[in-house]
Amino acid sequence: MFIRTIVIEGVDGDVKVTHTDEGATVSVERFSRRQGKHDVEIARIDRRESREAIYAKTYEVAKVVMGTDRQGRPLGTNSMIHEVMSEIERVAGC
């Protein structure tokens, strides 16, 4: 049994984590007058990647979920980033 999709409410919109055959795709829904509603892919997580590689991608996803400070870092603690990573791993099947 797989979790197909998890939606995380972020400061810049909802972040959607979707299960794929290789792992998971993380995207955010955007709206433009020209294209209408469309998903912008933030990261693609492969379940065979190392934990460090998944954390690096999760760090970038956390910037969209939590927002950034003046230095461009996520506005969250390390444990908050790990919570986002655990949700991504649940969907990816890691």
CB 43 within 8 A of CB 61: yes
First to last CA, the chain: 13
pLDDT at res. 35:
74
Reduce the DSSP state of residue 78 to 3 states and report it: helix
Amino acid sitting at position 10: G
In tens, the pLDDT along 67-89 reads 999 999 999 899 999 999 999 99
* pLDDT band, residue 24 (cuts 50/70/90): very high
Q: How far apart are CA 41 and CA 14, in angstroms?
A: 12
Percentage of residues of the chain with pLDDT beyond 90: 56
**pTM of the model as a whole:** 0.83
* pLDDT band, residue 32 (cuts 50/70/90): confident
pLDDT at res. 47:
87
**Closest C-alpha to 15, from 55, 53, 67, 56:** 67
Q: How far apart are CA 13 and CA 5, in angstroms?
A: 16
